[in-house]
Amino acid sequence: MLDQYGRKIEYLRISVTDRCNLRCVYCMPEEGVEQVSHSEILSFDEMTRICRICAKLGITRVKLTGGEPLVRKGLGSLLRSIKEIEGIEQVTLTTNGVLLAEQIEELAAAGLDAVNVSLDTLDRAQYMKLTRRDELEAALRGLEAALQYPDIRVKVNCVALHGENESQWGPLAYMAKERPIDVRFIEMMPIGLGKEYPFSSQELVYEALKAAFGEAQFLTGNFGNGPAIYARFPGFTGKTGFISAVSHKFCESCNRVRLTAEGFLKPCLQYSTGVDLRAMLRNEAGEKELEEMIQKVIFEKPRSHQFQMEGSSKQEDLEQKQMSSIGG
């Protein structure tokens, strides 16, 4: 369906859990966060019901995320249920990869279309510093396991961290040299702990990569569900992508809404506005009532974020939760 600004909203990101097996410095405190009880998290049946209603309204693509989605048992069954919904064309996954090797076979059998593996460095010591866990080898095993399934598109997501992982931008991009991997560099979003980390702009990352690999050819066309722009460096098999929400604001083409693990439907990452679908579901709201509320949230999606306009929004309207609780 269209929102009030004429944008076609067709992409739903679902956080299936707020829990994670890593403690990335820009996402979660070292001691973790206060975990929500299982009873407060949407069941797979509830998530599937919401997806079924969203599909009637024009949602065609679903991303499963977290926290870390693979720490929730039985994720393959949810994936399969969503894939079976009429109108859903793609179901994809974002993961840190640590548990991917042991689950990829089941996910592939359930119909997984693509997987994004979050990986900010290939250096073990730096990985331990950024994630507070010694799991780089497990993450790389997960990435390799996913590459054994040619029908599953594989991407690597790197958050470009100013003063932290510049030395790794080249090695990460080089993963796309001879393999069908798209490596994307993401600007730090000023949400939660991310506010403490200055972002590295798309231009800064590109200049570093150009110095290493030469001038890239920027590509036109749609290569995924989101706002990434892509380039191909000389001799590379895979592509290099840039997701630059701060320096290259893409709100005018935003096509997504987010569902938190607790069932809160958010039309925009920056704002706390939305609707508690869990309460409606558990108060036995009917299909029509749910559909009308989802339709209202989508229609009223804000025009844009205001990350670079300090004080432009009321503080009570801004999202105060960590990214792990919202869904990355």
Binding-site residue numbers for S-adenosyl-L-methionine are 26, 67, 118, 189
Q: Which own/partner pairs from 81-85 qualify as long-range (CB within 8 Å, at least 24 positions apart)?
A: 81/44, 81/48, 82/47, 82/48, 82/51, 83/110, 83/111, 85/48, 85/51, 85/52, 85/55
Give CA separation, 195 vs 60, 123, 192, 204, in Å.
Answer: 32, 24, 6, 19
Q: How far apart are CA 67 and CA 296, in angstroms?
A: 27
Annotated binding site for GTP: 13, 94, 155, 256-258
Output DSSP code: residue 186: E
Annotated binding site: 13, 20, 24, 26-27, 67, 94, 118, 155, 189, 251, 254, 256-258, 268
Q: How far apart are CA 149 and CA 154, in angstroms?
A: 9
- Sign of the torsion angle spanned by Cα atoms 259, 260, 261, 262: negative
CB 145 within 8 A of CB 104: yes
CB 64 within 8 A of CB 72: no
- Sign of the torsion angle spanned by Cα atoms 18, 22, 28, 34: positive
Q: What is the dihedral of CA 141, 147, 152, 153, to 10 degrees?
A: 100
CB 83 within 8 A of CB 107: no
Q: How far apart are CA 257 and CA 301, in angstroms?
A: 8
